[in-house]
Chains A and B, each alone.
Chain A
Amino acid sequence: MVRKARISSELRYTANTQLEALHARYTGTGHADITKYEWLTHQHRDTLASIVGHSTLNSYLAIADGEAIGRVKFEICERMLQPCGPPPQKDE
């Protein structure tokens, strides 16, 4: 029993370091304690980055909105700063 417990704790240990590396490397990776706001902000930033990265989507938005593609890209990048408004108050 003791032996088994140690193995699993080791596993947890290595898994954790990998996870940390993953988080450091890939901004936007979720974790168990993520808040709704964090998750949503990540989702929005990922989506906005993907839109900027696909020229057809840029054109599509620009046509719909009647703006230049350059303006659309700029406003999307600006929106990435805070896509979902300010974070909620922490209630401690």
Chain B
Amino acid sequence: MHLYNLTLQPPTAITHAIVGNFSGARHQEIIVSRGTRLDLLRVDMQTGKLSTVVSTDAFGTIRSLAGFRLTGGTKDHAILGSDSGRIVILDYDVKTTSFVKIHEETYGKSGARRVVPGQYLATDPKGRSVMISAVEKAKLVYILNRDAAANLTISSPLEAHKNQAIIHHIVGLDVGFENPTFAALEVDYSEADQDPTGEAFNGAEKKLTYYELDLGLNHVVRKWSEPTDIRANLLVQVPGGQLATAEGTRFDGPSGVLVCCEDHIIYRHPEKPQHRVPIPRRDHPLVDPDRGLIIVSAVMHKMKGQFFFLLQSEEGDLYKVTIEHVDEDVERIKIKYFDTVPVATSLCILKSGFLFVASEFGNHYLYQFTKLGDDDDEKEFSSSSYPGRGMAEPFLPLPKALFKPRDLENLTLVDEMASLDPVLDSRVLNLLPNSDSPQIFAVCGRGARSTFRVLRHGLETQEVVSSDLPGIPNAVWTTKLKEDDPFDSYIILSFVNGTLVLSIGETIEEVQDTGFLSSAPTIAVQQIGSDALLQVHPHGIRHVSTNRKVNEWRVPQGKTIVAATTNKRQVVVALSSAELVYFELDLEGQLNEYQDRKAMGSTVLALSIGEVPEGHQRTPFLAVGCEDQTVRIISLDPETTLEPISMQALTSPPSAICIADMLDAGINKTHPTMFVNIGLQNGILLRTVLDPVNGQLTDTRTRFLGTRPIRLIRVTVQKNPAILALSSRPWLNYTHQNRLHFTPLILDGLDYAWGFSAELCPEGLIGIAGSTLRIFQIPNLGTKLKQDSIPLSYTPRKMITHPGNNYFYVIESDHRVWGDDAAEKKLAELRRGQRTNQSTPELPPEVFGRPKAPAGTWGSCIRIIDPVQSATVGLIKLDNNEAAFSIAVVPFSAKGSEPHLVVGTGQDTFLSPRSCTSGFLRTYTFTNGGTGLELLHKTETDDVPLAVMAFQGRLVAGVGKALRIYDMGKKKLLRKVENKTFTGAIVSLDTQGSRIIVGDMQESVHYAVYKAPENRLLVFADDTQPRWTTATAMLDYNTVAAADRFGNVFVNRLDAKVSDQVDDDPTGAGILHEKGVLMGAPHKTVLLAHFHVGDLVTSLHKVSLVAGGRDVLIYTGLHGTIGILVPFVSKDDVDFISTLEQHMRTQGLSIVGRDHLSWRGYYVPVKAVVDGDLCEAFAQLPAHKQSSIAEELDRSVGDVLKKLDQLRTTASGF
């Protein structure tokens, strides 16, 4: 077995975000790290929309990200800390719209290790140096400078190590132009490690240490080190340095750092008094007063000599912190509640007044500041109102500060960036009506912001207008009146027996005196020359000039026009007598017929010419599709007019042809390529490249679009030419980020369509479907999956489908929250106590989250979702602090195979160490056609059932370490047989026949068999490696694909002989008495394939993604990745693609400088899997590299690209 890995949807989580002028232009951009990718985002100042400009696969883990600007520079650069053991400085190149590595300096081993730097990055605000640090001990300082040619230079590293010290955070201090200084938060563990009494541990100090880089002596000194609060977790830079102004020097700020600790914030700077303020807490009765509150993200913003901080607590509340200072002396620091937004991994403030919130889970948001919370009545807490500036008793907490959370007051939401992160479970099914390819159903998100999402392959369309027409038109066009009109003026509809012209204005209404023939159907419409219109109808061509003067060319008697193609200067029509007539516009704006007519010898079905290239008189090629299943290229050059050039044979008669010049960087980086798209009557689209020099057709690619004959229409999308292909569903072929994409539109089948441009809808499309006229837009180009979501209440854990209906059953449970009922009860209790008359503020949990509860408290429910109606149809809340962990639909044979829903729950569950007061198997019957559930009984278990599954009319459950089979009983489920040989906890179950595949939390995948005659449940094979299993899927009876917690996907296979031997043993006595191997089962599985995905895989399914296609293995990752593993069909493919991969590996494409082979073999060497993402990067390579690789492979560049494209389309359709 050999697999090909392809990412269909890259991770959507954001782990770091920085803002800066990376392009060097006036506007700011945001660079976000998505864990294993780096994206550059831009905010449109007018609309406030976020768009992705560049997206690059890092082929490594990005662990830290920082931006800096050299003194006096105009452009920001990004620095990456990763697991490659290298520091990388990136430049964003506007010309090629890509990230360019300026420096890549190796300093240590690869991998996210304890003492190898990469975890933290801090830059000097003046861009003179950078510190990169590990979690323990190691800190390296690099000096950044310019050489004589103004190139950025980087020095060799200077060490600032501190042995046996855990580093919590580092930050660059703002010291103006004095020596660059960095602050670090460190804990020394050397004494605690030596002291058995534990006193040293209790007395351990967290120290705030300043490291100064002496630029003159070129070394780093530990300048200052003082203990600070032991629960400090984050440092924030405070502006400093002097600024020369007209009135003398002025201090930008006091310099120093804000030390964010649990429950309070301290201002620190050597030889300066400390200031301390509390972090205000929510004034809510359910808030646990003993629980600390920490700051998880922070941002400082400077503007016109002022500055402020926005700090975000782990609940999502933003606080505005300001520092009042006189020169270098801090008078007081003040903190107040600002607003509440989702908890972020990074906050970015843009100079244009936007706040980008990179949420740790779920969608990311862009807010606009409406005010800065300056003069509201929110209570402000100042360090000067506490004794000793809050530091009178530094070890005691400050009096509690409270605020009332409220709706957004200072921010308004302007844009939202969809993110699947985290995907916790998924199913791939075709449930939606009118769809020929399956949808992905995923449960995503965390807490009250969780969602159930339906993902459909295709571009989202936004309907602007939909209106009914009197009849059923067969074609539609729009046209401008003059060449330089900004918008279209007419909509022309062609019916069987007539033509209708509508004018576009305030309203759309019919117009009469247009010069168009209304009594016949129309074949083509074109705005021709500078200000004339052209209508082609079966009996002639009408050339309508501005003053409504009509010149008509009539078809000779007994013939009609069957096909026509036009552009701004040329017209070609095909007559029913299989003749071609060619017209060209002369300089006076007259349409002249070419003296000869070309006889084709076979009925012409389709014609196409491209647009006139800029600065040219005409396009030199005409494509003609004939009934004899050929497409011929005919010259329109004045020297060789209407002479045939080349021909291509087809498998079916063509139904449409479209020539378009489109940019595809894979073929030509700078110039558009002339593509001839040929749609066949059997629904297949051929795409060929027309050589502009000799007119030959090369590089044919085929694609099945649907069941109806294809229609092709040239349109404009985002100012670039695109092709709309209509079959049983519409597709769009367009250029995005310099690459050609071919994506279906999420829209019911269209009969005909055309571009549409009006003031309100400048980049729309107009289409007809039956007798409806539709105008629509495509808002998000480049996103290949359309998402529709349904909100959930708690973190979804698992979901399941019912064999008899189309509903999804989702279990949701959240740790450390009060369930709705428990919260009510608790509130009632509190009201009865001393806090009687306090009214509880209504805080919608999807905005504010639920109040945190102590560990072991759970909120949970079972939800029934109708994916077609996109609604929740049923909801069962779990009480008694029970939380659901597993779900299965079981047709119990004891009940006549009636399906029952079994939910495995745990009561008072603790995670570490894993424990619960009791586990339960809740058995429900379905009511109301599946929209309701009725509890039949609850079966107590000794541990939490983390996996349940139907098995031969009974239930098999993994209850902690025990695998059990239960049968239906009157009062509860009855335990039939048990196997307790597992070491960890059972987390997944799969079955075929009497075989059960058991995924153990820590010990990989086990093969078990149930021997009914003796009622034995036996484990007969397991894996040789320990694996922290997260998902499993059976590929066949002997083979299982599984994923582990560290981002690996692997395939294990059992030897067929062993399999037969086990199946042939009727009682299982043989297995029972066989000797175990390596302290495990008697047989071992063989590792067939292994691959490091880079994202934690949460679900695996073996499905087919295209109608009639082969099965692929699809996986979803926690950070929102969706990818597939495609089995290769031939050995030739394997050889070819693996060799290509080898060549690609040597290109050093990783922007973090990680070696590709070691990245894909992070924990276990990569085996029998080719990285398609790397191979597809072939299209982005410079032309000379492409050709040298292709030469090594004995192929042409086109062949390589075609093979890659074919692998992608046949497997995924994406």
Contacts and interface: CB of A to CB of B under 8 A. Distances in A.
Interface in B418-461: 421-422, 424, 446-447
Given A59-B1118, A69-B345, A82 B192 contact: yes
B422 A63 contact: yes
Given A27-B163, A53-B63, A53-B118, A89 B196 contact: yes
A56 interface: yes
* Most-contacted residue by chain B among A52, A60, A74, A89 (CB, 10 A): A74
B629 interface: no
Interface in A52-85: 52-57, 59-60, 62-71, 74, 77, 80-82, 85
B423 to A, nearest CB: 11
B704 interface: no
Nearest to B1117: A56
8 contacts: A41-B193, A54-B61, A54-B1046, A59-B360, A59-B1096, A66-B852, A68-B296, A70-B234
A88 B194 CA distance: 9
Contact of A82 (B35, B136, B201, B343): B201
Interface in B182-204: 187, 189, 192-198, 201, 204
B1122 to A, nearest CB: 15
Contact of B816 (A52, A59, A65, A70): A65
B11 to A, nearest CB: 9
B816 A27 contact: no
B314 A88 contact: no
A46 B113 contact: yes
Given A67-B816, A69-B345, A57 B1096 contact: yes
B296 A55 contact: no
Given A55-B35, A66-B447, A80 B296 contact: no
A63 B61 CA distance: 20
B348 interface: no
Nearest to A80: B166
Contacts of A89: 196
A26 B195 CA distance: 23
B420 to A, nearest CB: 12
* Most-contacted residue by chain B among A41, A49, A53, A67 (CB, 10 A): A53
B1095 interface: yes
A71 B421 contact: no
B1016 interface: no
Given A45-B114, A53-B113, A86-B192, 14 more contacts: A49-B136, A50-B113, A52-B119, A53-B118, A53-B135, A55-B61, A59-B360, A70-B296, A70-B343, A71-B294, A77-B135, A81-B187, A86-B197, A88-B196
Interface in B215-261: 233-234
B112 interface: yes
Contact of B814 (A59, A66, A68): A66
Contact of A56 (B35, B83, B195, B345): B35
A74 B230 CA distance: 12
* Most-contacted residue by chain A among B192, B196, B1047 (CB, 10 A): B196
B83 A57 contact: no
Interface string A10-36: 000000000000000011100000000
Contacts of B264: none
A81 B192 contact: yes
B168 A53 contact: no
Contacts of B194: 87
* Most-contacted residue by chain A among B61, B118, B187, B314 (CB, 10 A): B314
B294 to A, nearest CB: 6
A15 to B, nearest CB: 21
A90 interface: yes
B119 A74 contact: no
A92 to B, nearest CB: 12
B1158 interface: no
Contacts of A63: 361, 422, 424, 446, 795, 1118
Contacts of B234: 70
Given A67-B816, A88-B196, A59 B112 contact: no
Given A80-B135, A81-B201, A56 B168 contact: no
Contacts of A67: 314, 816
B962 to A, nearest CB: 22
B711 interface: no
Contacts of B855: 65
Interface of B: 13, 15, 35, 61, 63, 83, 111-115, 118-119, 134-137, 163-164, 166, 168, 187, 189, 192-198, 201, 204, 233-234, 294-297, 314-315, 343, 345, 360-361, 421-422, 424, 446-447, 795, 814-817, 852, 855, 911, 1045-1047, 1094-1096, 1117-1119
B1119 A71 contact: no
B201 to A, nearest CB: 5
Nearest to B198: A86
Contacts of A27: 114-115, 136-137, 163-164
Contacts of A90: 196
A64 B61 CA distance: 22
B1108 to A, nearest CB: 35
B296 A28 contact: no
Given A67-B314, A87-B193, A57 B1045 contact: yes
B112 A60 contact: no
A89 B403 CA distance: 49
A70 B297 contact: yes
A69 B296 contact: yes
A70 B1096 CA distance: 19
A22 to B, nearest CB: 12
Nearest to A64: B911
A67 B294 CA distance: 11
Given A52-B135, A68-B360, A46 B1096 contact: no
B233 A74 contact: yes
Nearest to B858: A66
A54 B447 CA distance: 22
A64 B234 CA distance: 24
A71 B296 contact: yes
Nearest to A47: B114
Contacts of A53: 61, 63, 83, 112-113, 118-119, 135
B314 A70 contact: yes
A59 B1119 contact: yes
Contacts of A26: 115
A34 to B, nearest CB: 13
A59 B296 CA distance: 14
A56 B1095 contact: yes
A78 to B, nearest CB: 8
* Most-contacted residue by chain B among A46, A67, A82 (CB, 10 A): A82
Contacts of B297: 70
B136 A66 contact: no
Contacts of A74: 168, 233, 294
**6 closest A-B pairs (Cβ-Cβ)?**
A70-B296, A53-B112, A66-B815, A49-B114, A66-B816, A68-B314
Nearest to B188: A81
Given A59-B1119, A87-B196, A28 B115 contact: yes
Contacts of A52: 112, 119, 135
A46 B446 CA distance: 28
A1 to B, nearest CB: 41
A18 B1136 CA distance: 45
Contacts of A86: 192, 195-198, 201
* Most-contacted residue by chain A among B13, B296, B1094 (CB, 10 A): B296
A56 B1117 CA distance: 9
B42 to A, nearest CB: 24
